[in-house]
């Protein structure tokens, strides 16, 4: 009897806490949407703009956004787990889409009577409200516990973005104008960025395998590899440029091989150096993760060492290996940004150009693909990790 | 006790060697050895001033990160905040995907040149590792310890202060150590936003193709990172030694 009433009061308390968290979130969202600048209208791309708040909008799109989000919160708090979570994710995605389209429409309306150099940038209110909606969506996905819902939501939002962009609804937003002017540069930068971070992984993988084969030097390798992590990337890149320039001077033949102090090579080496720790540690853990009993059994049925490696150790360690690769990939994509500092190109160059010109939208144009690439890599590789785990455990 | 401090001492030694190598006379000698003509190096005083400023900025950022990260971590692990967990985890994952350079770059238009954007990037980038570390450390406290304290009639605040936090201390110090290394690195990147840190001579050297200040800055930044890491590692081993004795 007592247990039951305890259980009921716990459940009651949890529901109360969930609804108070929802109220808190709703309050934040209302404040972001109605008190902060949603758009900044400036005479050109470099001057600071005049803020436009929700009350100055020509249509009711912000009201609709708020309505959809609040409906999502209410459904999340009242409906059962799966149903409530699923519907809420849909409503939050729709709210975000209407927010973006509403801002695109408002930008078009406002800029119609202004000179062509005028710009409409997304304001701080938009970014904060987006973060708020992202947090709501994260909470609903966590509550729904439906496999693949996160991926589905991300794809839906990407689809909305692409449709809105092709439909021309966002054409007057400064970010889209900035993109239209630099399409070629951006595409090349993305390719360079992927090449740089992929190349560093390709460089670091065999090095990590060789290091993990050196069993007697495990202590030293561990110290060196984790010591590298302590060195700030700016310092390592700067130091490598100095070293490589000295090396090229001492051995001019290297210059003919395409090695130069500024350019992709020092960046590749620098990034690869940071990837050694996750990869080396992952390989070590993966190879040790097989149960000694399983190894004994494999030996007993007469498998050779190579067969044991291929048929027992690698499959059992696969999730750990993929996990290490995931950490290394995300790290590599981030570090490649800094490569632009030493002339390696990539998306960092667009970010640095934006910083030099003090043009916020140019910075965003470089930053958004970096973040999107890291998130995509993280999501894809953690899905792979989970499927490895499910497959080999079964 | 001393053998516990040995790893920290090793890291300290590496830091000290790097610091010595960043000294103008030694660095000029290295640069000459690389076949480059050493010119316009930084004086030891200038290097020290930059290091002090770097350390001050990083320490301020770390203090903010520690307060916010620990506070949020404690808040999130309370029973009443359970519904917030999903949302906070989502934002944490998203924030980790933004590299420090990009954080500094994004903060630049909001806060202008100098220290403030660096500080914002420090907080934005450092808070998640501390938050995650705090949550992990607090969750690793065994439920039995908590239940025992409850049975003894402790209030929730007493349980937090006298059971959970002391038991989670090694994990908390580890989280702070990670945050410190991140803070030193992010502050170095802050040079790009015009903060005067040890990253400044590196960036300036890269722009002017001048190897000497670049190398000095790189060595000094690495030295600072190693020295600070050694201090916190020493602290961590003292904490765990203290725990072992109890």
pLDDT tens, A224-258?
A: 888 888 888 888 888 888 888 888 877 777 777 76
- Which DSSP letter does residue A257 get? T
Rounded-to-10 torsion of CA A3, A9, A12, A13: -120
**A249 contacts B206? CB cut-off 8 A:** no
**A21 contacts B93? CB cut-off 8 A:** no
Cα dihedral sign for B97, B99, B105, B110? Answer: positive
Evaluate whether B231 touches B172 at the Cβ level (below 8 Å). no
For residue B32, the chain A residue with the least C-alpha distance is A246
pLDDT bucket at B108, cuts 50 / 70 / 90:
confident
List chain A residues with CB under 8 Å of B35.
246, 249-250
What was the pLDDT predicted at B22? Answer: 80
Q: pLDDT per residue over B125-179, tens digit each?
A: 888 888 888 888 888 888 888 888 888 888 888 888 888 888 888 888 888 888 8
Considering the entire predicted model, what is its pTM? 0.83
Least confident of A53-62, A80-89, B76-85: B76-85
Q: Is A62 on the interface with B (CB under 8 A)?
A: no
pLDDT at A272 over 90: yes
**B14 contacts A232? CB cut-off 8 A:** no
SS3 content of chain B, % helix, strand, coil (to 5): 85, 0, 15
pLDDT at A173 over 70: yes
C-alpha–C-alpha distance, residues B136 and A363, integer Å:
34
Q: Is B101 on the interface with A (CB under 8 A)?
A: yes
Evaluate whether A174 touches A121 at the Cβ level (below 8 Å). yes
What was the pLDDT predicted at B210? Answer: 80
* Average pLDDT over chain A, rounded to an integer: 83
What was the pLDDT predicted at B2? Answer: 61
Q: Is B225 on the interface with A (CB under 8 A)?
A: yes
For residue B76, the chain A residue with the least C-alpha distance is A21
Nearest to A265 by CA among A347, A344, A352, A349: A344
C-alpha–C-alpha distance, residues A179 and A330, integer Å:
25
Q: pLDDT per residue over B192-213, tens digit each?
A: 888 888 888 888 888 887 888 8
Beta-carbon pairs below 8 A across chains A and B = 191
Nearest to B231 by CA among B6, B3, B8: B8
Evaluate whether A41 touches A119 at the Cβ level (below 8 Å). yes
What burial class does residue B93 get, using C-beta atoms within 10 Å of its C-beta: 0-12 exposed, 13-18 middle, 19+ buried?
Answer: middle
What was the pLDDT predicted at A1? Answer: 42
More confident residue, B85 or A171: A171
């Amino acid at each position: 009897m007592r247990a039951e009433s305890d259980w009921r009061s716990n459940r009651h308390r949890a529901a109360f806490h969930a609804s108070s968290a929802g109220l808190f979130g709703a309050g934040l969202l209302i404040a972001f949407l109605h008190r902060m600048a949603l758009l900044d209208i400036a005479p050109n791309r470099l001057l600071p703009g005049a803020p436009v708040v929700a009350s100055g909008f020509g249509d009711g799109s912000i009201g609709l956004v708020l309505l959809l989000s609040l409906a999502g919160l209410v459904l999340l708090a009242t409906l059962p787990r799966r149903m409530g979570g699923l519907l809420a994710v849909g409503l939050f995605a729709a709210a975000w889409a209407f927010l973006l389209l509403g801002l695109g429409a408002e930008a078009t309306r406002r800029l119609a009577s202004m000179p062509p150099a005028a710009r409409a940038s997304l304001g701080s209110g938009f970014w904060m409200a987006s973060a708020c909606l992202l947090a709501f969506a994260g909470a609903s996905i966590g509550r729904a516990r439906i496999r693949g819902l996160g991926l589905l939501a991300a794809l839906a939002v990407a689809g909305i973005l692409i449709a809105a962009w092709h439909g021309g609804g966002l054409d007057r937003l400064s970010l889209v104008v900035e993109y239209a002017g630099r399409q070629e540069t951006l595409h090349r930068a993305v390719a360079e960025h992927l090449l740089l971070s992929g190349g560093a992984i390709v460089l670091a993988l065999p090095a990590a395998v060789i290091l993990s084969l050196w069993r007697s030097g495990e202590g030293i390798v561990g110290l060196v590899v984790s010591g590298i992590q302590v060195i700030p990337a700016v310092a390592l890149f700067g130091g490598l440029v100095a070293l490589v320039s000295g090396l090229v001077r001492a051995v001019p033949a290297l210059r003919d091989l395409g090695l130069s102090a500024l350019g992709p090579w020092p960046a590749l080496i620098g990034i690869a150096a940071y990837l050694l720790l996750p990869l080396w540690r992952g390989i070590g853990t993966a190879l040790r993760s097989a149960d000694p009993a399983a190894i004994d059994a494999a030996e007993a049925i007469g498998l050779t060492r190579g067969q044991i490696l291929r048929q027992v150790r690698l499959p059992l360690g696969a999730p750990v290996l993929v996990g290490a690769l995931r950490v290394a990939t995300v790290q590599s994509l981030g570090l490649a940004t800094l490569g632009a500092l030493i002339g390696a190109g990539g998306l960092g160059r667009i970010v640095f150009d934006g910083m030099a010109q003090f043009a916020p939208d140019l910075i965003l144009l470089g930053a958004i693909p970096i973040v999107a690439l890291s998130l995509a890599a993280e999501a894809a590789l953690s899905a792979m990790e989970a499927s490895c785990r499910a497959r080999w455990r079964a | 006790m001393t053998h516990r401090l040995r790893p920290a001492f090793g890291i300290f030694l590496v830091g000290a060697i790097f610091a010595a190598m960043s000294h103008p006379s030694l660095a000029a000698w290295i640069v000459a050895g690389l076949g480059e003509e050493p010119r316009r190096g930084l004086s030891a005083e200038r290097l020290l001033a930059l290091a002090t400023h770097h350390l001050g900025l990083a320490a301020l950022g770390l203090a903010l990160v520690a307060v916010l990260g620990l506070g949020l971590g404690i808040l999130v692990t309370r029973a009443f905040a359970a519904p917030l967990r999903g949302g906070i985890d989502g934002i944490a994952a998203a924030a980790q995907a933004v590299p420090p350079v990009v954080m500094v770059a994004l903060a630049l238009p909001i806060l202008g040149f100098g220290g403030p954007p660096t500080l914002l990037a420090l907080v934005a980038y450092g808070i998640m590792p501390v938050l995650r570390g705090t949550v992990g450390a607090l969750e690793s406290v065994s439920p039995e310890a908590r239940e025992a304290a409850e049975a003894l009639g402790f209030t929730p605040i007493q349980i937090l202060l006298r059971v959970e936090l002391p038991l989670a201390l090694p994990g908390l110090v580890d989280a702070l150590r990670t945050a410190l290394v991140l803070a030193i690195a992010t502050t170095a990147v802050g040079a790009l936003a015009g903060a005067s840190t040890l990253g400044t001579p590196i960036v300036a050297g890269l722009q002017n193709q001048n190897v000497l200040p670049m190398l000095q800055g790189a060595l000094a930044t690495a030295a600072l990172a190693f020295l600070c890491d050694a201090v916190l590692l020493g602290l961590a081993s003292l904490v765990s030694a203290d725990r072992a004795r109890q």
